[in-house]
């Protein structure tokens, strides 16, 4: 059973990780995998797939729950705010954690932030007990 | 529309005007392999032993269904929001079927927002995850349709 504070999880964004995500997802958008094409884009260089910025939250939540999956009844709402790039360190920071009621669900407000404190994703989640 | 994975383009060219709200596409069958589940549980690409499919797999399943239904996310689009509701736990190595449809499209503050819905079920038709992507589409409505 989950309890206590969420563990701090930091993910280093690397080109190897982006390439692995492209391979797993089949998303080989040049913005993610082609340095020359990405450099010529409005982003001026490689950016990671959006969900990579969310990964630290999922890892933090599953570690806290002690479960590989999010249990039935859980829900996650994500707002993407800024891109991440190779070399960024993305940390999941929980802003507020509330016990939602008798069913053991916990409401969580969290942000994934870069090393310069730029918020890359905002998250509102309800996590039920495994 | 139904089928198996094929050589679909990475990026869609579907115009905002051509998106039909409510038109269901799929089901598309995908396998969540042990390898895929393992590589998404810890740091991306670094396999970990898992007994259940981790949450990071579902945005990828959304993406795979989107690619098969409309050729992927259009070039120049911006993923603004994503929502997931978890209804069941999936074992690695499972097949899933995914249905997707345009849930809504509207212009807000001069930006064309498109909501794409997803329904992921296991081989026994048990609902596993539902959710949606809210995307700022690269093109808005044509002058004729405004």
Tens-digit pLDDT profile for residues A74-126:
999 999 999 999 999 999 999 998 887 767 799 999 999 999 999 999 999 99
**Mean pLDDT over residues B47-62, rounded?**
96
Domain housing A85: 9-127
Residues B75 and B10: beta-carbon distance below 8 Å: no
Helix (H, G, I), strand (E, B) or coil at B74: strand
- How do residues B69-120 score in pLDDT, each as one tens digit? 888 778 778 889 999 999 999 999 999 999 999 999 999 988 999 999 999 9
Q: Which helix (H) or strand (E) holds A126?
A: strand A119-127
Is residue A117 assigned to a domain?
yes
Nearest Cα to Cα of residue A90 among A6, A16, A12: A12
Nearest-CA distance A24 → chain B (Å)? 6
**Cβ-based neighbours of B133, under 8 Å, separated by 6 or more:** B62, B66, B79, B81, B82, B115, B116, B118
Residue A81 in domain: yes
Per the model's pLDDT, the better-predicted residue between B6 and A127 turns out to be A127
Contact at CB, B63 and A26, closer than 8 angstroms? yes
Q: What is the DSSP letter of A55?
A: H
Cα A30 from chain centre: 21
How many other CB atoms sit within 10 Å of the CB of residue B36?
23
Query: Is some CB atom of chain A closer than 8 A to the CB atom of B136?
Result: no
Q: Is the pTM of this model over 0.95?
A: no
CATH code of residue A83: 3.10.129.10
Say if the Cβ atoms of A62 and B54 lie within 8 Å: yes
Q: What is the mean predicted confidence (pLDDT) over B1-26?
A: 66
User: ipTM value of the model?
Assistant: 0.93
Task: Evaluate the omega torsion of the peptide bond into residue B27 and state whether it is cis, within 30 degrees of 0.
Answer: yes
Is residue A1 included in any domain, yes or no? no
Is the model's pLDDT at B9 over the cut of 80?
no
| Cβ–Cβ gap A80/B72 under 8 Å | no
Q: Which CATH architecture has domain B20-145?
A: Roll (3.10)
Residue A10 CB-density burial (10 A; 0-12 exposed, 13-18 middle, 19+ buried): middle
Number of domains in chain A: 1
């Amino acid at each position: 059973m989950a309890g206590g504070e969420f563990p701090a999880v930091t993910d280093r964004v690397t080109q190897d990780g982006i390439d692995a995500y492209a391979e797993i997802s089949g998303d080989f958008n040049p913005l993610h995998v082609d340095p020359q094409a990405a450099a010529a884009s409005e982003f001026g260089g490689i950016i990671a797939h959006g969900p990579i910025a969310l990964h630290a939250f999922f890892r933090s939540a599953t570690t806290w729950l002690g479960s590989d999956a999010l249990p039935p009844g859980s829900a996650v709402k994500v707002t993407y705010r800024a891109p991440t790039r190779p070399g960024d360190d993305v940390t999941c920071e929980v802003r507020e954690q509330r016990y939602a009621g008798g069913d053991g669900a916990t409401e969580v407000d969290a942000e994934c932030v870069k090393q310069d404190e730029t918020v890359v994703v905002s998250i509102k989640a309800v996590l039920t007990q495994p | 529309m139904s089928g198996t994975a094929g050589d679909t383009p990475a990026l869609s060219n579907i115009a905002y005007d051509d998106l039909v709200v409510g038109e269901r596409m799929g089901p598309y069958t995908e396998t969540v392999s042990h390898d895929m589940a393992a590589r998404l549980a810890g740091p991306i690409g670094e396999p970990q032993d898992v007994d259940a499919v981790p949450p990071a797999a579902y945005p990828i399943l959304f993406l795979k269904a989107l690619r098969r239904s409309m050729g992927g996310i259009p070039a120049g689009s911006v993923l603004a929001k994503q929502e997931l509701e978890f209804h069941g736990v999936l074992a690695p190595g499972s097949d899933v079927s995914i249905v997707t449809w345009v849930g809504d499209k509207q212009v807000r503050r001069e930006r064309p927002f498109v909501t794409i819905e997803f329904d992921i079920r296991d081989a026994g038709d048990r609902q596993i995850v539902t959710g949606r992507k809210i995307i700022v589409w690269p093109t808005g409505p044509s002058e004729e349709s405004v």
